[in-house]
Amino acid sequence: MINYLYIFPEIIITSALCFIIVLDLFLPSRLKYISYYLIQFSLIFCAYYIYSHFSYLNTNVSQLYDTSIFSNTFKIFILLSLAIIFYYTAVFLRYFNIYQTEYFLITMFGLLGMMIMISSQNLILLYLGIELLSLSLYSVIAFNKNSLFSSEAAVKYYILGAISSGFLLFGISLIYGLTGSLSFNEIFIHISSLEVLNNMDNVQIIGLLFALIFILISLSFKFGAAPFHMWIPDVYHGSVITTTLLLSTIPKIAVFVILIKLLASVFSGLLLFWTDMTIVLSVLSILIGNIIAISQTNIKRMLAYSTIANIGFILLGLSVGSIIGYKAAMFYTLTYVITTIAAFGLLSQLVYEKKPIENINDLSGLNSSSPFTAFLLMIILLSYIGIPPFIGFHAKLLIIQSLVETNNISLGIFAVLMTVIGSFYYLRVIKVIYFDESKNDLSTTSKLHLTGIYIMGLVLLGLLPDILGQLSQYSISNLFNT
Amino acid sequence: MNLEIIIFYIFSLLLLSSSIAVIMVNNPVKSAISLVLSFFSSAVLWLLLNAEFLSIILILVYVGAVMVLFLFVVMMLDINISRTEEGFVKYLPIGIIVFATIAGLLSYFFYNQFDNAGDSIITSIDLIGKDNTKNLGYLLYTEYLLAFEIAAIILLLGIISAITLTHKKSETNKYQNPGDQVNVSKNARLKIISDEDRAR
């Protein structure tokens, strides 16, 4: 049983959803903005509720649902990011006249799924959360009914997602068969009671590893790590740019939380084995992401491959297998999400020949038509590369530092080399913006004041990296104390 | 060999062969019917495990409702059978490699685990008497109530997104909005063109 005060944030979101669905039907189209503001208000209010009840929620000892400081930090982060994403989405959809409140509502279901994933302490809840998230993503991708690409992307993602859910369920059933429980805590106790090199337990460990591999495959599919990355470029390319913004940011946080909970605490007894698996995943992701991104001409596809490379860096932090690595990975995840929101958000506000921006060449000569936009885009790209004053530098530095400190020097060198290769395709965009011939068909959907403030915040975070550093320090150490 | 084991082997063979038939048969209707057979044989296997409620639900819901709908849809669609055969040989080697790896690992694991099968970890859950249905209901509404509610929310999402994706504002309907008609102003109907404009 569970005390319902602990799931109050989820209840807030669910009731707001149900209320707004019904309300929106009765609003005439010129008053639709009311439901948009109500959605934004419920997101902010939910984040505020979690923040103000931080210590109370932390007293939860439920075996089913975890509302510790670690989970709640991520929940607040997700809620606030989603509020920013909704701002960009609303601007974009209104400009291109495909605005429908249902887009936001379906995304809110996905938010609920992510909150459940983050808090789950039981494999059943984890599965349900992942399903809720992916179902909402399938329908959001297919949202643009006029575009053939969009339907193709949705069908592709749907079929691959169903297969990966099957993998997850197979792994879960094996774990249930071997340990007799679905609760994270009991699985942890069972695994730590096994002696890893003992012959008697050998068969058990092979079975558990088998299950772990299946779960890891499924999660890295959702995460977008190579070699399970095939869907990412097509889906990012096919969907509307604000959907791409949604897809590439907050689901990654939820999957990261699950990965760190499963690998670093539940399966910590099998640390020897899963570190190797994550090293393979991360090396492949960084390699494939960075090298294939070079040949892309479509900016969404290019950023899709850059996502894969970034995911590789996060997994590299996890593969260290100690707290210093987890901290670096968390720092990297937060940085990646903040930077990606800025990147796709800014791109979603640019219009080329009355259509959303598609190719890198559409941006050529952006500097001469609007120097401010060009400057903002340059900051984001430099942060992606990891040029010192910006936040991306600190993230990459922490990952490489944690690798070197645990004597994985060859992996550290590999990461640095790949960053150099990766900087090529980001720099090419900067070259196109600043040095190519200007096309005067570029305009923006709205004034860029808010985007400008957001990106200045990004710069400030880069100058004061301790804010994110302290946050990851605080939440990761909380995860391992309890 | 007792009866239970004989039934188990018969129906697991049936399950395996019908599942293979689902993906190998060319005609989609036959494939759907093989799926019905595989559902039925897995229901029998569940019955052997004393999960009588689940096995009957499987037959009622999947065979009775879902598969019938599915068959209707399959019969309505005009599927080009020859195209489904394309690429079978091309992808066969990869398929065999994946199959061999998974099957090999699984059989190694289960073969070794068979010795310990006697002291199975899972003991049947018996909370309030022998009745399987009552036990399930008890667990669903106490320990897993949260999961149960989340499943309900997933269904709600399914309804909403299905309607959003398929609903089209009908463009053939012609109707008048009295509010717009009353509020119409002179400017919407009349355009005053000065002489100079006309001269251009």
pLDDT at B124: 54
ipTM of the complex, rounded to two decimals: 0.90
Residue from the list A21, A179, A210 with its beta carbon closest to the beta carbon of B105? A210
What is the mean pLDDT of the segment spanning A452-473? Answer: 90
pLDDT at A277 over 60: yes
Residue A482's pLDDT band, with cuts at 50, 70 and 90, is: low
- The CA distance from A270 to A265, in Å, is 10
Residue A365's pLDDT band, with cuts at 50, 70 and 90, is: confident
pLDDT at A279 over 60: yes
Collect all residues with Cβ–Cβ distance below 8 Å to A267 and sequence separation of at least 6: A191, A208, A212, A274
Residue A139's pLDDT band, with cuts at 50, 70 and 90, is: very high
Buried b (16+ CB within 10 A) or exposed e, B39-55: bbbbbbbbbeeebebbb
pLDDT at A2: 58
What is the mean pLDDT of the segment spanning A405-432? Answer: 91
Chain B residue with Cα closest to A190: B121
Chain A residue with Cα closest to B159: A106
β partners of residue A355:
A352
pLDDT at B157: 94
Residues of chain A that touch chain B, judged by Cβ-Cβ distance less than 8 Å: 1-2, 7, 14, 21, 64-65, 100, 102, 105-106, 109, 112, 116, 122, 124-125, 128-129, 131-132, 135-136, 138-139, 142-143, 145, 176-180, 203, 206-207, 210
Flag if B161 and A210 touch (Cβ within 8 Å).
no
pLDDT at B69 over 80: yes
B101 in contact with A, Cβ within 8 Å: no
Residues in B closer than 8 angstroms to A136, CB to CB, are 157, 161
Which residue in A62, A101, A132 has the most chain B C-beta atoms within 10 A of its own C-beta, making it the best mutation to test that interface? A132
Provide the H-helix boundaries in A148-296: 148-179, 184-193, 202-223, 231-238, 241-248, 250-259, 271-293
**Range with the poorest average pLDDT among A97-106, A156-165, A239-248, A352-361:** A352-361
CA A55 from chain centre, in angstroms, equals: 26
Higher pLDDT, A162 or B84: A162
Instruction: Determine contact, residues A60/A67, Cβ cutoff 8 Å.
Output: yes
Higher pLDDT, A322 or B85: A322
Give the sheet arrangement for strand A355-356, strand by strand: A355-356, A350-352, A442-444
Residues in B closer than 8 angstroms to A207, CB to CB, are 109, 113
Residue type, B98: V
pLDDT at A361: 86
- The CA distance from A114 to A133, in Å, is 6
pLDDT at B114: 56
Residue B29's φ and ψ, nearest 5 degrees, are: -65, -45
pLDDT at B120 over 60: no
Chain A residue with Cα closest to B145: A1
Number of A to B CB contacts under 8 A, please give it. 78
What is the mean pLDDT of the segment spanning B172-184? Answer: 75
pLDDT at B66 over 50: yes
Flag if B146 and A64 touch (Cβ within 8 Å).
yes
What is the mean pLDDT of the segment spanning B163-171? Answer: 76
H or E element in which residue A442 lies: strand A442-444
pLDDT at B1 over 50: yes
Flag if B160 and A102 touch (Cβ within 8 Å).
yes
- The CA distance from B92 to B105, in Å, is 20
Higher pLDDT, B189 or A223: A223
Higher pLDDT, B129 or A479: A479
Flag if A207 and B109 touch (Cβ within 8 Å).
yes
pLDDT at B170: 59
Q: How far is A109 from chain B (nearest CA, A)?
A: 7
Flag if B122 and A176 touch (Cβ within 8 Å).
yes
- The CA distance from B52 to B48, in Å, is 8
pLDDT at A87: 94
pLDDT at A354: 82
What is the mean pLDDT of the segment spanning A111-122? Answer: 94
- For residue B184, give the 3-state DSSP assignment: coil
Residue B118's pLDDT band, with cuts at 50, 70 and 90, is: very low
Q: What is the DSSP string of B38-54?
A: HHHHHHHHHHHTT-HHH
B107 in contact with A, Cβ within 8 Å: no
pLDDT at B27 over 50: yes
Provide the H-helix boundaries in A53-198: 54-57, 69-95, 101-119, 123-141, 148-179, 184-193
Percent of chain B with pLDDT over 70: 80
Q: How far is B109 from chain A (nearest CA, A)?
A: 6
pLDDT at B136: 85
Taking CA atoms, A171 is separated from A207, A213, A395, B112, B185, in Å, by 10, 8, 32, 18, 68
pLDDT at B117 over 50: no
Residue A367's pLDDT band, with cuts at 50, 70 and 90, is: confident
What is the mean pLDDT of the segment spanning A5-25? Answer: 92
**Range with the poorest average pLDDT among A11-20, A305-314, A460-469, B124-133:** B124-133
Residues in B closer than 8 angstroms to A145, CB to CB, are 165, 168
- Neighbouring CB atoms inside 10 A of B56's CB total 15
B113 in contact with A, Cβ within 8 Å: yes
H or E element in which residue A356 lies: strand A355-356
A319: left (phi over 0), alpha (psi -120 to 50) or beta: alpha
pLDDT at B50: 78
Q: What is the mean pLDDT of chain B?
A: 81
Q: How far is B153 from chain A (nearest CA, A)?
A: 8
Domain boundary assignment for chain A:
8-481
Residues in B closer than 8 angstroms to A128, CB to CB, are 147, 150-151, 154
User: CA dihedral defined by A229, A234, A239, A240, rounded to 10 degrees?
Assistant: 100
pLDDT at A82 over 60: yes
Residue B82's pLDDT band, with cuts at 50, 70 and 90, is: low
pLDDT at B199: 66
Buried b (16+ CB within 10 A) or exposed e, A202-230: ebbbbbbbbbbbbbbbbbbbbbbbbebbe
B106 in contact with A, Cβ within 8 Å: yes
Residue type, A76: I
- The CA distance from A397 to A316, in Å, is 12
pLDDT at A281: 93
Instruction: Determine contact, residues A337/A442, Cβ cutoff 8 Å.
Output: no
Flag if A206 and B108 touch (Cβ within 8 Å).
yes
Flag if B145 and A100 touch (Cβ within 8 Å).
no
Q: What is the mean pLDDT of chain A?
A: 90
* Best-predicted range by mean pLDDT (A313-322, B82-91, B190-199): A313-322
Higher pLDDT, B72 or A146: B72
What residues 166-195 of chain B have any CB closer than 8 A to a CB of chain A? Answer: 168
